[in-house]
Structure 1
Amino acid sequence: MEYRGEMIVKNITVMEEFILLGFSEFPSLQEFLFVIFLVIYICIILGNGLIILITNVERALQTPMYYFIGNFSFVEICYTSVTLPRMLKNLWSQKRNISLLSCAAQQFFFIILGITESFLLTVMSYDRYMAICNPLYYPLIMNQRMCVQMVIGSWVTAIPLIIGQTYQVFSVSFCGSNKLNHIFCDMPPLLKLACGDISGAESFLLIDCLLFGLIPFLLILYSYSRILSTILKLPSITGRSKAFSTCSSHLIVVCLYYGSGITAYLQSMYNYSGRTDKIFSLFYSIVTPMINPMVYSLRNKDFIQSMRKLFSKSVG
């Protein structure tokens, strides 16, 4: 019994760093993947940066809806900047090691920014609800002060819980291999390397999914059920189509973000598969932020007109 206890202690390693395997199973595609992800990162920065610029410069877009869209685009840039530069570095140098502290910081900021996106999407749905269902009260309720408070609340609300979650994950012991079968530091693959009791960390993950994923998603669905009910009561077909057009872009982004995110985390909790989880993670952490600027700009007439106006000024 004493010998067995000594063996268990020896097998528990104090991890100083992890190795992010990423796409190491495709050694011949490393350069190709580097180019692809670099182009995607540039597109994300340029696309979302353009939205931030236009929503701040053009007076026609100085409304709560575009204020939230501009903030959402800023979060998208930060969100991808937490993971993509490290991925590009790993692909270029073929050195995939990441220190324990850097891994914890990456997980913390990735989750915080993901939750901020979730809250901002909820705030944007509430904005559309007020604009369509309560147009008379809309200017009074959705004033500048309220909009700023909503954005700040979206950023800071989850910080205390995520600090506790990050501490819970990195306070467990890791044993055996330090190879993390993922593209960045995230809870499910980290817990696969943990030893001993991880029920506390798993509880934090479940609370995280419920409070910051499922509940905001249900609030968005409720808002749009009320919006849809109001739109269908409008007597004018033109009014209906205009109301639908102001909501369709946001709905597409909501479906992309929550669809891939919730699916990835639920699968990770109950049936973790490295390759499948990498694909889902790529989708909600990289592909969605790249698509969002196109969704908001190409489907929005006001934005297209403001973009043309801005370009004509710069060319002239």
Structure 2
Amino acid sequence: MIDTLDLQFLLAIKQHGSLVGAARFLNVTPSAVTQRLQQLEARLDIHLIDRTARRLHFTEEGELLCRKGQVLLEQHKALLEEVMQQHGKLVGSLKINAPFGFGRKYLTDIIAQYHRLYPEVEVLVKLSEQPLLEEQERFDLILHIGELYNSNLIVHTIAPNQRFICAAPVLVERYGIPSSPQDLLNYPSIALQENNEDTTLWSFEQQGKKQTIRIAPSLSSNDGDVVCSWAKEGLGIIMRSQWDVAEALSQTLLIRLLPEWALPEAPVVALTHRRKGMPERVHAFMTLLKQQFTPEAPWQKLAGTQQ
């Protein structure tokens, strides 16, 4: 009567909202989608979709098939994965979302290693400017750095990460070495726009004493590489994560300012939908991820070489 391929076909139409969209997703012609839908309706002797030139609407029976069919497909997939795991194999898909800069610099090799270990797992990595603003349910794991606002996701700490104020040596020569956060207002500044944070408000703490300044950046970008590049050219001071500037600091392309003042930390964390019952393919990636940043993260090792 109806099989998993039929259910996947209907869900493709549902997801993409049109026969043309489904055809593009399935890599077939729109006429092929129309013909297959007609054949499915004829086989079931049930009208599943009302379609006009302008819109597409699932009938009550079509909606029922999609709703229940989605559950059946997930159960079918889980059953196959469980059977394969009985033989020591990981299968299925792993969907990861991560920030652009961190993903490019640190995740590429880890995912390549994961793929070599578990070649039957299909891995999808999406690098995003603001991972937490994406549709979270679409991903098995989200990498996040910085402030974490209200979230129902489970937090797994991967590595510590500090924030530093940095400037190029040429800028320090021009403006001098600051002795307090207020002195930074005499410098040109650069802001990185990320995670919907107030990135022009910089908060400092030293032995319980707190100071906050509001910078007026002359340059800003949503790309960390761009911001760091401008800073290296002496165009302004920046506040950046240690993971991003550790290499530039070790090469003296940037200098850390006010090291005796602490900024809010921004640990690298992985976010998942559940702590217990995590799919083995996700757990295996989490294990590999933590191994790469334990006992020291790469940026901590670089800091050690500077001492």
State the TM-score, normalized to the length of structure 2: 0.24
- Structure with the larger strand share: 2
Which structure has more relative contact order (CA 8 Å, sep 6+)? It is 1
- Structure with the larger helix share: 1
* Largest Rg, 1 or 2: 2
State the TM-score, normalized to the length of structure 1: 0.24
